[in-house]
Amino acid sequence: MTSLSDLPLRANLVGKLPYGAPQDPVPISLNVNENTHPIPEGVLTDIVAALTDAVRGVNRYPDREFTELRRALAGYLGFGLAPEHVWAANGSNEVLQQILQAFGGPGRTLLSFTPTYSMYPLLAAGTDTGWIPVERPADYALTPEAVVSALREHRPDIAILCGPNNPTGTPLDREVVLAAYDAFDGILIVDEAYQEFDAERESSIALLPGRHRLLVSRTMSKAFAFAGVRLGYLAADPAVIDALRLVRLPYHLSALTQAAATAAVRHADEMLATVADIRAQRDRLAAALSELGYLVHPSGANFLLVGGFADPEATFEALRAQGILIRNLGIDGHLRITAGTESETTAVIEAIAALGVAGA
């Protein structure tokens, strides 16, 4: 039987593992930071009607420039954005890949601050872009000084700041973004996959005017409860979007994706109605786990990174045996837990409480 090691794979992919969050059919899935609430019935009806319409036209290629969707996304984002400031692809992962295809590649580098989103190094490898991980301090919070010093030392072609940061939840302060932009002359991406959950901070989209190397990526996969549709998007200078047009595959967004996403964005208020409750469940989970003696890192997202587990893998398996899936990312003593519905959050609190106090 042929195995991967028998194939003439590109050197920078040898030994790599594919993205691999477990996909177990368990009753309580709190491992990939989805919005665990179903989408509202009224919106569902509208999306189905839009899909029916779109199916009638699938003998033709879809609108390559997905103009209607870009107009809807620009309207949702606000900040005076026009459709030409907005781009989208099949998940923000594809948007990030297109950015690396256009601005990274052989001989170029991508820098980010770890622990951070595990896809960044994989996207770098896939586009033959050098990966420069710079470790965050013990509390995971970035400071302007630390970011400026790393960017001046390494002079990357692209840097990504993830805010709030996955998997730590750490919010990203505006002064860090501003300092980073001025510290180097490469492309600065702010990955705002969880921005809607961070009610305390304004989006970095506010900083776009006059900063043509700043790119702000967003997704419908988290707060919008639309992970299955695969729709990520970007706000940036129109010139950046022209660059992404050079690398995207023609007609990369299917007519069905465009129809579903456009209908959902038009109902943004209803789609985002669960965000306040998810934040409340996150805070309830944080309070309960702190009470049990665990170390809960501050989070601006819909998940918590929690430390104080003597044996994280054992806890992960104990919860999995009870039908609760959380995430072990290999951070010493830590596990990541998504805030779900009220009953899911209660279940995970009770399951961890039943294991005893922290460190035991």
Ligand X SMILES: *Cc1c(COP(=O)(O)O)cnc(C)c1O
Tell me which residues touch ligand X (CB under 6 A). 33, 91-93, 117, 162, 166, 191, 193, 219, 221-222, 227, 232
Could you tell me whether strands 86-89 and 232-235 are parallel, antiparallel, or unpaired per DSSP bridges? antiparallel
Phi, psi of 215 (to 5 degrees): -125, 130
Least distance to ligand X, CB of residue 190, Å = 11
CB 237 within 8 A of CB 208: yes
How near is the Cβ of 122 to ligand X at its closest, in Å? 12
Identity of residue 31: N
- Is residue 189 within 8 Å of residue 104, measured between CB atoms? no
C-beta nearest to ligand X: residue: 91
User: Quick one: which of 126, 200, 129, 145 has its CA closest to 170?
Assistant: 200
CB of 203 to ligand X, least distance (A): 14
Q: How far is the CB of 226 from ligand X (least distance, A)?
A: 9
For residues 33 and 274, which CB has a smaller minimum distance to ligand X in the complex?
Answer: 33
Shortest gap between Cβ of 260 and ligand X (angstroms)? 14
Q: How far apart are CA 236 and CA 241, in angstroms?
A: 7
Q: Which is closer to ligand X, CB of 162 or CB of 358?
A: 162
Would you say 93 or 274 has its CB closer to ligand X? 93
**Please, what is the minimum distance in Å from the beta carbon of residue 121 to ligand X?**
13
Whether residue 311 contacts residue 299, with contact meaning beta carbons closer than 8 Å, is answered with no
Q: List C-alpha distances in Å: 209 to 78, 205, 213, 289, 332.
A: 13, 9, 10, 42, 41
Whether the bond between 144 and the residue before it is cis, its omega within 30 degrees of 0, is no
Q: Which is nearer to ligand X, 73 or 351 (CB)?
A: 73
Nearer to ligand X, 93 or 129 (CB): 93
> Which is closer to ligand X, CB of 31 or CB of 33?
33
